[in-house]
């Protein structure tokens, strides 16, 4: 039976690096606090012209090159983002135009940090019914445009960037073979973007303070550890596998302490856990595809390896996905 398989990966990061030392000049914080509480040392911040769709297209182009495909061969483009180029039209349509992917249809999904994994799952389901399809899935964020730079609780955490994967099909047992996707909308207010509700007709211009990220960090922390370890265990159990059968775990890169707690709950050895949160911070939907591309480029993933993704984000949303590379 055909399965959706990743044919190529790519990523694109803004030029500018923002260090903890620079953040010390912006809010009341310290390199010592940020490093010990989050593991983050640097993050990338978009500059002039480094728009969301351009980072996304840059990552997409590299993933196409890596797969040996052209943009004209794409049938579908999914962009996962919570910081879209515009609310309308979708960032995916901008990417389609930028790449010249004239034969594709394109749309965005918003599942916050979980978006790329939801996107892979979606692509795998299209490919299951139409194995000839080639699908580009991108996670791309310019969170720096959505961060309150006066709020030390959040501004030290987030970064910009994009990562992408091109999917096709194979019938040799390799590919995506399991996933579990979860949400709990009752807890939306733990992590959300401020701003006017679309349905509020009485909104005045002076009510508009900009759409900025608000987070209850310690509650999100606890939910993230519980939800990710739970969904990974559920998925492994469903597939009759254990952590010993997995070659590499690529988790959402939010905070090194979350990753270490997840590692200890799941009993994962260091060499099986991919970590790059120190370099890029939390890039939301872009975090897993950037990490996946780094792992791929570094040769950390070999043919037939079992790779497990797990993620957690606003919504709340969380998910895990398994593939044989
Ligand atoms: O992508 C998925 C969504 N996001 C996440 O997964 C993030 C989840 N949460 C976290 O990573 C952590 O909760 C944080 C890193 C945000 C905070 O770490 P924490 O250990 O949970 O700290 P806390 O929220 O309990 O705050 C401890 C103290 C507070 O001071 P008081 O009230 O105890 O005096 C904060 O005001 O640390 C203070 N604080 C800071 N101090 C220096 C918060 N941010 C900073 C800062 N620099 N940047």
Q: Which whole-number Å values give the CA distances from 230 to 259, 266, 270, 287, in the listed order?
A: 14, 9, 20, 20
For the cut 80, the answer to whether the pLDDT of residue 208 exceeds it is no
Q: What are the pLDDT digits (tens) for 246-270?
A: 999 999 999 999 999 999 999 999 9
How many whole angstroms separate alpha carbon 93 and alpha carbon 98? 9
183 and 289 both lie in a single domain: yes
How confident is the model at residue 195, as a pLDDT?
A: 75
Nearest CA to ligand 1 atom 36: 153
186 and 80 both lie in a single domain: no
For the cut 70, the answer to whether the pLDDT of residue 207 exceeds it is no
Nearest CA to ligand 1 atom 5: 254
How confident is the model at residue 285, as a pLDDT?
A: 98
Cβ partners under 8 Å of residue 196, min gap 6: 203, 207, 208
Q: What is the mean pLDDT of residues 14-34?
A: 98
How confident is the model at residue 311, as a pLDDT?
A: 98
Catalytic center residues: 113, 252, 282
**Pocket residue to mutate for ligand 1, from 23, 153, 156, 261, most atoms within 8 A of Cβ:** 153
How confident is the model at residue 200, as a pLDDT?
A: 65
Mean pLDDT for all residues in the chain: 96
Domain boundary among 118, 153, 172: 172
154 and 184 both lie in a single domain: no
158 and 181 both lie in a single domain: no
Q: b/e per residue, 59-95, with b = 16+ CB within 10 A?
A: bbbbbbebbebebebbbbbbbbbbbbbeeeebbbbbb
Cβ partners under 8 Å of residue 112, min gap 6: 82, 191, 284, 285, 313, 314, 315, 317
For the cut 80, the answer to whether the pLDDT of residue 43 exceeds it is yes
Residue 17 Cα to ligand 1 midpoint, Å, equals 22
Nearest CA to ligand 1 atom 37: 153
What would the 3-class secondary structure string for 23-45 be?
Answer: HHCCCCCCHHHHHHHHCCCEEEE
325 C-beta closer than 6 A to ligand 1: no
226 and 308 both lie in a single domain: yes
For the cut 80, the answer to whether the pLDDT of residue 198 exceeds it is no
92 and 145 both lie in a single domain: yes
For the cut 90, the answer to whether the pLDDT of residue 49 exceeds it is yes
For the cut 70, the answer to whether the pLDDT of residue 203 exceeds it is no
Residue 218 Cα to ligand 1 midpoint, Å, equals 7
Q: What is the mean pLDDT of residues 82-103?
A: 96
pTM passes above 0.75: yes
For the cut 80, the answer to whether the pLDDT of residue 74 exceeds it is yes
What's the domain count of the chain?
2
For the cut 80, the answer to whether the pLDDT of residue 220 exceeds it is yes
Q: What are the pLDDT digits (tens) for 128-163?
A: 999 999 999 999 999 999 999 999 999 999 999 999
How confident is the model at residue 289, as a pLDDT?
A: 98
Q: What is the mean pLDDT of residues 206-227?
A: 88
318 and 199 both lie in a single domain: yes
Q: What are the pLDDT digits (tens) for 101-137?
A: 999 999 999 999 999 999 999 999 999 999 999 999 9
Classify the C-alpha dihedral 320-159-211-193 as positive or negative. Answer: positive
How confident is the model at residue 88, as a pLDDT?
A: 93
The single-letter DSSP state of residue 233 is: H
Classify the C-alpha dihedral 283-286-292-298 as positive or negative. Answer: negative
Domain boundary among 157, 172, 187: 172
Nearest CA to ligand 1 atom 32: 153
Q: How confident is the model at residue 211 (pLDDT cuts 50, 70, 90)?
A: confident
**314 phi and psi, to 5 degrees?**
-60, 150
146 and 270 both lie in a single domain: no
Domain boundary among 141, 172, 203: 172
How confident is the model at residue 174, as a pLDDT?
A: 96
How many whole angstroms separate alpha carbon 317 and alpha carbon 223? 10
CATH number at residue 78: 3.40.47.10
Percent of the chain exceeding pLDDT 70 equals 96
How confident is the model at residue 194, as a pLDDT?
A: 84
**21 phi and psi, to 5 degrees?**
-60, -40
167 and 188 both lie in a single domain: no
Residue 217 Cα to ligand 1 midpoint, Å, equals 6
38 C-beta closer than 6 A to ligand 1: yes
162 C-beta closer than 6 A to ligand 1: no
Q: What is the mean pLDDT of residues 27-31?
A: 97
41 C-beta closer than 6 A to ligand 1: no
Phi-psi region of 210 (alpha: psi -120 to 50; beta: other; left: phi over 0): left
Q: How confident is the model at residue 205 (pLDDT cuts 50, 70, 90)?
A: low
Range of the domain at 32: 3-172
How confident is the model at residue 248, as a pLDDT?
A: 98
Nearest CA to ligand 1 atom 19: 218
Q: Do the beta carbons of residue 226 and residue 262 sit within 8 Å?
A: no
């Amino acid at each position: 039976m055909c399965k959706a398989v990743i044919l190529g990966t790519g990523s694109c990061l803004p030029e500018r690096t923002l260090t903890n030392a620079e953040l010390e000049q912006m809010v009341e914080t310290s390199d010592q606090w940020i490093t010990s509480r989050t593991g983050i040392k640097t993050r990338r911040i978009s500059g002039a012209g480094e728009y969301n769709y351009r980072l996304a297209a840059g990552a997409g182009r590299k993933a196409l090159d890596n797969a040996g495909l052209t943009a004209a061969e794409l049938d579908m483009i999914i962009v996962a983002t919570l910081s879209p180029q515009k609310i309308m039209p979708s960032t995916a349509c901008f990417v389609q135009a930028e790449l010249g992917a004239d034969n594709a249809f394109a749309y965005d999904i918003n599942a916050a940090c979980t978006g790329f994994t939801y996107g892979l799952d979606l692509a795998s389901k299209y490919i299951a019914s139409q194995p000839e399809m080639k699908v580009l899935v991108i996670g791309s964020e310019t969170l720096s445009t959505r961060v309150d730079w006066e709020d030390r609780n959040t501004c030290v955490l987030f970064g910009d960037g994009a990562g992408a994967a091109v999917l096709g099909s194979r019938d040799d047992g390799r590919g995506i073979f399991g996933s579990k996707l979860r949400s709990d909308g009752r807890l939306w207010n733990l992590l959300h973007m401020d701003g006017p509700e679309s349905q509020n007709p009485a909104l005045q211009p002076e009510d508009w303070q900009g759409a900025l990220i608000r987070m209850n960090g310690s509650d999100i922390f606890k939910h993230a550890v519980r939800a990710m370890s739970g969904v990974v265990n559920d998925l492994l159990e469903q597939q009759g596998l254990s952590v010993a059968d997995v070659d590499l775990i690529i988790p959402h890169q939010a905070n090194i302490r979350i990753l270490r707690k997840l590692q200890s709950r799941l009993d994962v050895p260091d060499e099986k856990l991919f970590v790059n949160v120190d370099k890029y911070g939390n890039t939301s939907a872009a975090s897993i595809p950037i990490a996946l591309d780094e792992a791929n480029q570094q040769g950390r993933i070999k043919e037939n390896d079992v790779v497990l993704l797990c993620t957690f984000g606003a919504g709340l949303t969380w998910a895990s996905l398994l593939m044989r590379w």
